[in-house]
Structure formats: C-alpha cells, structure tokens
Amino acid sequence: MAKAFMGVRLQRLREERGLTQTALARILEISPSYLNQLERNQRPLTVPLLLRINASFGVDVQLFSEDEEARMVADLREALSEAGTGEAIAIAEIKALATNMPAVGRALVALHRRGRGLAERLDALAAGVIPAEPGSALPPMPYEEVRDFFYRHHNHIAALDEAAERLFAEAGLEIGAVDRGLERLLADRHGIRTLVTDDAGMPGGALRHFDAADRILRVARSLDPGRRAFQMATQLAFHREAELLHRLVEEGRFSGPQARALARIGLANYYAGAVVMPYEAFLEAAEAVAYDIDLLGQRFGTGFETVCHRLSTLQRPGAPGVPFFFVRVDRAGNMSKRQSATSFHFSRVGGSCPLWNVYEAFSAPGRVLTQLARMPDGRAYLWIARKVVHGRSGFGAPSKSFAIGLGCDIRHAGRLVYSRGLALGDPDAATPIGAGCKVCERPACPQRAFPPVGRTLAVDESLSRFEPYPVSATPA
C-alpha cells in the first residue's frame, strides 16, 4: 500500500466531530504529538489507524483511500480542462487539491457538471428541443443524477445487500431456482399471483407488468428463469422494502419526482440482483472460479451482463471482492450503463477511447476479449469485453446489441481467470488508452479524434504527420 498522507481529511473529520487533538488521539489510541504530525502530513496514515477510524466513527475508509483520490483527480482534470483560463494546470497541483482539500475539489466538480448541463440544455432550448416557457426552469437530467448517486456509493448499497440476504435465508430460496421460491413468496405473503404471459400479451412490450387492482404480476415468457426471478424480485422490492427504498431515495437528495422515481427503480433492481445472487454466496463462488463469468452465470442462472453488473457491486467492508468498473456501450459509443467500484473514469466530454477493446467486441460476437490497458497517469487495467444481444421471441422481432466491459486494476488481475497467458508484468504489453480525446494528454495517438482542450496545435505546412492534431509544447 502506498503511503497515504491525508492530514487535511483527518483534521476535517476531527472538526466535524467537535474534538480536540487530545480527544481524538485518545480515541485512536495514539499520542497527541503523533496525531499532530498526521494532520500536518508529516506522517502517513497506516492501515491499522484507518481501521480504527472506521470502528470509532463509522467513516468509510474509502474516503482516505488511494482509489478515492484517483477518482477525484480524474474528475478535476476533466473539469479544469474546460476552465478556459488559457493556463495549463499541472497534474501535481490537481493531485494536491484532491489530497488536501477534497471538499473544495468536489465543489469544483459539481460546479463544472452543473455548468455543462446548463450549456447542453441551453443548446437544446436554442434548437427547439426544449419548449421556451417564460419563467420556467430548465429541466434536470434525472438519469445522470441516478448514475452519479450509484457512483458516489461505489456501486455498493449495503442496506439492500443485507435485506436481500435476509430474504434469501428467511424464504428458503435456492441458488439457481430463485424464480420458483419467489413465486411462492409473492403469493403466500403478499397475495400477488404471478402469470407467465406470451410476449404479445404484455402491455407495451413490457417484460414485467403489475396489475395492482387484481394483484397479478405478469412476466414475459421469453425471459429465462434467471431473468424471470430478477423481475419478480424487483416487484418484491417495492412491496417488502418500500420504507428502505424511500429512505435511500431521500438520502440521495434528488432534484425532482422523475429522478426520485428512477432512483427507486434503480435501487429495486439492485435489490433484485442481490436476491438472485446473494452477496456472501456469490462472492464465495466468484473467488472459487477465479471470477469466470460464464461459470457464475451457469451457477446462478443469470446472463453475462447481469453477472458483470453484480460483480461491480461487491464492495462490502470487511468482505470485498475485486473492485470492478462496469460499462455497457452501443455501436455508436453511447454509454447506457456505467458503474464503478474503482478509480477508473471515462470522460463525460469527448467520448471514450477507440483503442479500448469494448468496441472490438462487436466484431467478435460470442467471444470474451481481454486487454491490458494503461491510462496516461500510468495506471494499468485488465479489461474483459463481450457482445451481448437482447431480443424478443418471434420472426422479425426487434433486438438490441451492446458490448459489455468489465475492468479492474492490474494489481487484482492475478485473481481473474482472464489474466492467464497475459504479460501482467510487462509495461510494454499494455495498450495505451485514454479517458477521452478532449481530455487525453497522449501527444502522439494515431486514433485521436479531437485535439486536447487547452493545448495549442502544432500547425506546420511543411509536414504531413501520421498522428492527427499534434500539439506544441506550450499551452493554449
């Protein structure tokens, strides 16, 4: 573990609790002089001290982690790249801000995102996409709000995992056959009858539809047992865990009713995945098969995408799995899902990187592709990618295809079956990728689609280069 100098964060924790240095030192069982050195960044925080902070104050040690700092650095680099000051900001300065003043860093990121969202909505207003009503506020972006909520929680909602495990035990559910147990549970305890209905009979092409008046839950016949169980568990969340969902949504402080409704659905879906793949059993199975996604899918009766999404949630304190980044993209590069338990971060501006193997998956259906990738900051990752297709039954029925990406820091790669045969120790074996062309600082990338923000182009009529958008050594 790298040395963690987190003096300002420790001082802030003490001040928020109204403690003197002497009082905090007594709680942490260290001397006041040692605590003073910690707060002045003259000594690093150790693992035992971090665990003592967690035990004493219930503070997530992730707030003091290297990965959390790397997340902040990535967000700040993106925000400050669009500052428009004409002055290049060194990565060392950004790291110092992320380490010593994280609250200020979060405020800057929030202001940047609010400004970008406002600019995008003003563009939509100018184009006539949003009706101009005098005195009306521009509508929020609820999907982004919900996505950021899960991102802030590292895609792990402990209360829902615990509730799902309690249900699994109390109801005597069986791994791989959860659908049958949930059907009985819905009928016996909630008076809800489950009907498997032909797709043509589902309203609006729905996969799940609950008729509250008749207490009937209809699920599409085209769903396999695992996906059927997921839909049943989602409906069960709205009945069994209504108070918990309400509390979590209120804690999220969403801006409006649409965002709150989407958050409820997202949390109910999280609960459903935790019921079908209960935390402890799923983590134990994942470790036993070296995170082989297909084998986990066979055991729990779920598909490739569902297993990948569940793997990205395994961050229970004291019993974490590999911290993964999960993403779903379409052929046009749109990210419809993006969840992270890691420091990995793709830009919200300028797209993602075309050298990333998730796009190659579309040309290799059915195959799991692996890639060692290195970001400009030197961090290396193992990426797994595969194309998945979702469709309805019947000739000519529409389908949709996505590429699923699952990645982890290279230091965890040895725990995965997908690392076999890869040169994990060879720095030259990794493909150089970036967070997005507009914020990527790689000087000679042949695949670059945009010049980097804040850099001056090196324009020379006498030269024709292989790499597009060469930049000069001086900032814009």
- Structural domain that includes position 191: 158-276
294 located within any domain: no
- Residue 270's pLDDT is 97
Residue 338, strand partner residues: 327
Q: State the DSSP string of 52-83.
A: HHHHHH---GGGGSHHHHHHHHHHHHHHHHT-
**Between 3 and 229, residue with greater pLDDT:** 229
Task: Verify that 193 and 168 share a domain, yes or no.
Answer: yes
Q: Which of 64, 91, 112 is the last residue of a domain?
A: 64
Q: Which of 23, 47, 64 is the last residue of a domain?
A: 64
Amino acid at 344: F
Task: Verify that 223 and 190 share a domain, yes or no.
Answer: yes
Task: Verify that 432 and 448 share a domain, yes or no.
Answer: no
316 located within any domain: no
- Residue 308's pLDDT is 96
Backbone angles phi, psi at 61, to 5 degrees: -65, -15
461 located within any domain: yes
Tokens describing residue 472: 């000069």
Range with the poorest average pLDDT among 26-40, 121-135, 299-313:
121-135
Task: Verify that 435 and 475 share a domain, yes or no.
Answer: no
- Which residue, chain included where needed, has tokens 């609250």? 103
Dump pLDDT digits (tens) for 144-202. 889 888 887 888 999 999 999 999 999 999 998 999 999 999 999 999 999 999 988 88
305 located within any domain: no
- 53 in Cβ contact with 11 (< 8 Å): no
Distance CA 353, CA 375 (A): 10
361 located within any domain: yes
Task: Verify that 330 and 414 share a domain, yes or no.
Answer: yes
Dump pLDDT digits (tens) for 416-467. 999 999 999 888 889 988 877 777 777 778 888 877 766 677 777 888 877 7
Looking at the structure of the chain, the number of domains it has is 5
- 262 in Cβ contact with 143 (< 8 Å): yes
136 located within any domain: no
379 located within any domain: yes
Q: Strand, coil or helix: what is 368?
A: coil
Task: Verify that 38 and 86 share a domain, yes or no.
Answer: no
Tokens describing residue 319: 């019993």
Task: Verify that 343 and 432 share a domain, yes or no.
Answer: yes
Task: Verify that 163 and 201 share a domain, yes or no.
Answer: yes
Task: Verify that 428 and 447 share a domain, yes or no.
Answer: no
Task: Verify that 244 and 354 share a domain, yes or no.
Answer: no
Task: Verify that 28 and 86 share a domain, yes or no.
Answer: no
Dump pLDDT digits (tens) for 324-351. 999 999 988 888 888 876 656 555 544 5
- Residue 470's pLDDT is 78
Task: Verify that 77 and 110 share a domain, yes or no.
Answer: yes
pLDDT band (50, 70, 90) for residue 318:
confident
